Amino acid sequence: MENGYGRRPSAMVRPDEGRSHTPLRLFVDAKRKMNEIYKEVAGHITESQTFLDGIPSESKVVSEEQLTKVEAFRKQVKGIQDVLERDHMKVAFFGRTSNGKSTVINAMLRDKVLPSGIGHTTDCFLCVEGCEGQEGYMKMPNSTERLSMMSVGQLAHALANERDHEACHQSSVLNIFWPKSRCHLLMNDVILLDSPGIDVEQDLDEWINNHCMDADVFVLVSNAESTLMRTEKSFFHKVSDKLSKPNIFILNNRWDASASEPEYMEAVKKQHLERDIKFLVEELKVVNESQAKDRVFFVSAKEALNSRIPKTMSTPDSGPVIEGYQARLFEFENFERKFEECISQSAVRTKFEQHAKQGRQIVDYTQEILSQVLEAATKKRGMCIEKRKDQNDRLDYLKDQMKILSMECKEKIKDVAEQSESKVSATMTDEIRRLSLLVDQFDKPFHPETLVVQVYKEELQKHVEAGLGQNLAARCSANIKQTVEEVQTQMTERLSALLSDESKDRVEGLLFRRDFDLSYRLDCQHLFADFKENIEFRFSLGITAIMNRFLGARGARATLAGLTGMVPTGVPSAVTDVEDPSSTDMTVAMLSGIASLYSRTSVGLMIVTGIVWKSVGWRVLVVGGGLYGLVYVYERLTWTNRAKERTFKRQFVDYASDKLKLLVSFTSSNLSHQIQQELSGTFAHLSVEVENAKQELEKDIMDLELETKRLEGLISKAKLMRNKAGWLDNELERFLKQFIQH
């Protein structure tokens, strides 16, 4: 609207025009950037926690303290994110009653939103923030119900009759939501807090604690018609004590009143300016003198509001424009520009600087933890690789040594078995030669009756079997067992050297069987089953005995068989040449008679006697025959049970000796097999332990290989996450340089 006084067109600019260049965009951009960074930080912390939680505790790569720290970081980041989501730029307007605080806010909102007028109007805190849509609304404290904007005047105005004093008292806050599209301040996350007069409420500390601690900028609205009051100063002294160097703007409102006294305008302005600067610089010490000049303004909020409310045909004219109107509008706009710059920079610093520093501290700590985990994992990976190499070398050594020891032990077992077999074979052969002594030691009563002889024979067989076994054991077992134990000890010591201490303890119980004993199984009952004794009387000078003595048993049987066939048919051809026929006839008759009385042996004897008779005469023959008969009678009389027992034992010894010789090879081989089985069993037990040790080594190698691969993956992941932490730290540092330090 143009008039003679040259109102600036910019006063009618729409609130959303040019907002991309407003200083408030700094806060919006900083908030967006900070949220983006913290989203990455939160993801990184969560990923780090998951990564660290997934590391087995037994690996000793990450400690419980580190896990606790990361969990605390995650909660801290979540809390900061929640704060960032609801962080706004908060501007608190303070001043004495009727200084025009609400009018200033309405001018900035470009509409009559808050109750205003002469006297005490605002009787509680009014918090104005932006909302979507085209209509504003209000909410009561601790309520989600939306009330119309008509309720603002009814509830917040001190003079309203319908006001609920219990629900809305001076320390309560009414939340007013005004469309963002109608005010670029609200569009850029600014909250405007209007307060009752500071000269009305007595408990300023409660005000400050409840409503000022999170404010980014304070706007002191004073009355330009009067000087800065003690009450106003006292309030900001309290604010300054509680908050370190708060950002304070001083608006000397109602400066339009100076137009009535133009001659004093500059002097009053200078006086106010000096006092305000002194208050900011010397008393509050929040800014220096040059900065303080940009914090003090002389405005008319009412004129600014009237210039910004769209005029309609029905709107009455506000009257003539007061001198200095345009300058006061420029001053209000200048205040808004400085104000926006200040709250943007202040809010960015107060809202995000600490968060950025905390974020850097968190990612630095996380980076340090990841570096420690990386270092521990790298160190353990090196140890795993070294240990795996040692285990591989040990496994190769064990395999090579096992091959060598297997061959040596098999040769040793073979040698011991062969030596023992030879020893048992020689000992048993010697025992067979001495079998008669063992048989003579058998002293059971003997009787020629068949049943008694059968029992006697069975008992003798058992005696011989037991005696031979005892003699063999006495002569061989001790030395052989000692040799076996020595070989077992040697094998155990050699193979135990390849085992771990734990395996050695187990091997000690497997050294060798203490109950091992050699068994000499002769099985004489079946071996002597075909033995047939012959205890009938046999004359020692009989032809059969003589022939057996000279020709052997086979030759004697063959000869007797031939003589027996010749006797019935006549005398031998040698007798036909005898010169005396009568003598020849007598001899043949004699031999024939004797043949009828005696056995084949006697017949043979008569033939021999006839021949001798022919040669030496009958007297010599008679004398010889008498002696022969006496010998026969003597032997026949001495053929007692004792003689029969001796004959039985002798026959048994001869028979058993032949039979036992057949067992020499079997018995020695059986003993050799026992020794081989015992030593092979011991070697097998030891081999099982070595095989178990080999399998344990192979399992350890496989586990170490898997652990190495797992650690390599862990190292790769830790490096990646550590680098991401470094990147986040750089991002936060860049944020500080871009939005805070600049």
- DSSP code string of 553-608: HHHHHHHHHHHHHHGGG---GGGGG-S-HHHHHHHHHHHHHHHHHS-HHHHHHHHH
In this predicted structure, the answer to whether residue 442 has a pLDDT above a threshold of 80 is: yes
Q: What is the model's pLDDT at position 393?
A: 93
In this predicted structure, the answer to whether residue 13 has a pLDDT above a threshold of 50 is: no
d(CA 459, CA 427) in angstroms, rounded, equals 24
Return the higher-pLDDT residue of 151 and 270: 270
* Structure-token pair, residue 161: 């009759």
Torsion of CA 5, 6, 11, 17, to 10 degrees: 170
Using alpha carbons only, give the angle 123, 126, 128 rounded to the nearest 5 degrees.
160
pTM > 0.75:
no
Amino acid making up residue 700: D
The helix (H) or strand (E) run that includes residue 636 is: helix 618-637
Answer yes or no: are the C-beta atoms of 213 and 244 closer than 8 Å: no
Highest mean pLDDT among 182-186, 213-217, 418-422, 620-624 belongs to: 418-422
> Among positive and negative, which fits the CA dihedral 166, 172, 174, 175?
negative
Angle separating helix axes 25-53 and 325-347, nearest 10 degrees: 10
d(CA 208, CA 238) in angstroms, rounded, equals 8
Q: How far is CA 438 from CA 444, 456, 462, 504, in A?
A: 13, 15, 12, 48
Answer yes or no: are the C-beta atoms of 217 and 247 closer than 8 Å: yes
pLDDT band at 314 (very low <50, low <70, confident <90, very high): very low
d(CA 329, CA 590) in angstroms, rounded, equals 190
Bridge partner residues of 18 (DSSP): none
In this predicted structure, the answer to whether residue 678 has a pLDDT above a threshold of 70 is: yes
d(CA 119, CA 535) in angstroms, rounded, equals 163
In this predicted structure, the answer to whether residue 197 has a pLDDT above a threshold of 90 is: no
Extract the runs of DSSP E, i.e. beta strands, from 144-287: 173-179, 190-194, 217-223, 247-253
In this predicted structure, the answer to whether residue 737 has a pLDDT above a threshold of 60 is: yes
In this predicted structure, the answer to whether residue 570 has a pLDDT above a threshold of 50 is: no
d(CA 439, CA 466) in angstroms, rounded, equals 11
Question: Among 671, 217, 739, 594, which Cα is nearest to 424's?
Answer: 671
* Structure-token pair, residue 489: 């000890």
Answer yes or no: are the C-beta atoms of 156 and 168 closer than 8 Å: yes
Answer yes or no: are the C-beta atoms of 218 and 236 closer than 8 Å: yes
Return the higher-pLDDT residue of 617 and 432: 432
Q: What is the model's pLDDT at position 11?
A: 39
Considering all CA atoms of the chain, what is the largest pairwise distance in Å, rounded to the nearest integer?
216
Q: What is the model's pLDDT at position 235?
A: 78
139: left (phi over 0), alpha (psi -120 to 50) or beta: beta
Place of tokens 């068949």: 450
d(CA 16, CA 303) in angstroms, rounded, equals 21
pLDDT in tens, 623-671: 777 887 888 888 778 788 888 888 888 888 888 888 888 888 888 888 8
In this predicted structure, the answer to whether residue 725 has a pLDDT above a threshold of 70 is: yes
d(CA 732, CA 740) in angstroms, rounded, equals 11
pLDDT band at 244 (very low <50, low <70, confident <90, very high): low
The arrangement of strands across the sheet holding 173-179 comes to 137-139, 173-179, 125-131, 190-194, 89-94, 217-223, 247-253, 296-298
Average pLDDT over residues 668-697: 88
Q: How far is CA 67 from CA 75, 307, 363, 372, 623, in A?
A: 13, 62, 14, 12, 131
In this predicted structure, the answer to whether residue 443 has a pLDDT above a threshold of 70 is: yes
Q: What is the model's pLDDT at position 558?
A: 61
Average pLDDT over residues 398-418: 91
In this predicted structure, the answer to whether residue 313 has a pLDDT above a threshold of 70 is: no
Phi, then psi, of 139 in degrees rounded to 5: -130, 140
d(CA 459, CA 465) in angstroms, rounded, equals 10
pLDDT in tens, 81-129: 888 887 788 898 988 888 888 899 989 888 888 877 654 455 678 889 9
Amino acid making up residue 313: M
Question: Among 146, 168, 147, which Cα is nearest to 158's?
Answer: 168
d(CA 357, CA 347) in angstroms, rounded, equals 15
Percentage, residues of the chain above pLDDT 70:
77
* DSSP structural state of residue 122: B
pLDDT band at 599 (very low <50, low <70, confident <90, very high): very low
Cα 57–chain centre separation: 7
Answer yes or no: are the C-beta atoms of 494 and 405 closer than 8 Å: yes
In this predicted structure, the answer to whether residue 704 has a pLDDT above a threshold of 70 is: yes
HSE (CB half, 13 Å, CA atoms) of 584? 12
Start-to-end CA distance of the chain, whole Å, equals 39
650-654: which pairs have CB atoms within 8 A and are 24 or more residues apart?
A: 650/436, 651/533, 651/534, 651/535, 652/439, 652/457, 652/460, 652/528, 652/531, 652/533, 653/435, 653/436, 653/439
Q: What is the model's pLDDT at position 519?
A: 77
Query: What is the DSSP code string of 244-274?
Result: SS-EEEEEEE-GGGGGG-HHHHHHHHHHHHH
Return the higher-pLDDT residue of 539 and 62: 62
Provide the mean pLDDT of the chain: 79
d(CA 455, CA 452) in angstroms, rounded, equals 5
Average pLDDT over residues 233-249: 79
d(CA 222, CA 29) in angstroms, rounded, equals 33
d(CA 31, CA 575) in angstroms, rounded, equals 158
Return the higher-pLDDT residue of 5 and 681: 681
Neighbouring residues of 85: CB distance < 8 A, sequence distance ≥ 6: 35
Query: Out of 260-269, 287-296, 323-332, 578-587, which region has the weakest mean confidence (pLDDT)?
Result: 578-587
> Among positive and negative, which fits the CA dihedral 453, 455, 456, 461?
positive
Q: Which residues of 659-691 are buried (b: 16+ CB within 10 A; e: fewer)?
A: bbeebbeebbebbbebbbebbbebbebbbebbe
pLDDT in tens, 159-178: 455 545 444 555 678 888 99
Neighbour tally for 159: CB within 10 Å: 12
Average pLDDT over residues 598-618: 61
Answer yes or no: are the C-beta atoms of 102 and 194 closer than 8 Å: yes
Average pLDDT over residues 571-579: 40
Phi, then psi, of 220 in degrees rounded to 5: -90, 110
Q: What is the CA radius of gyration of the chain?
A: 67
Extract the runs of DSSP E, i.e. beta strands, from 56-110: 89-94
Average pLDDT over residues 126-139: 88
Answer yes or no: are the C-beta atoms of 237 and 208 closer than 8 Å: no
d(CA 172, CA 123) in angstroms, rounded, equals 9
pLDDT in tens, 16-38: 444 445 777 888 888 889 999 99
Bridge partner residues of 218 (DSSP): 92, 248
The helix (H) or strand (E) run that includes residue 318 is: none
In this predicted structure, the answer to whether residue 371 has a pLDDT above a threshold of 90 is: yes
* Structure-token pair, residue 724: 């991401």
Bridge partner residues of 91 (DSSP): 192, 217
In this predicted structure, the answer to whether residue 318 has a pLDDT above a threshold of 70 is: no
Q: What is the model's pLDDT at position 575?
A: 38
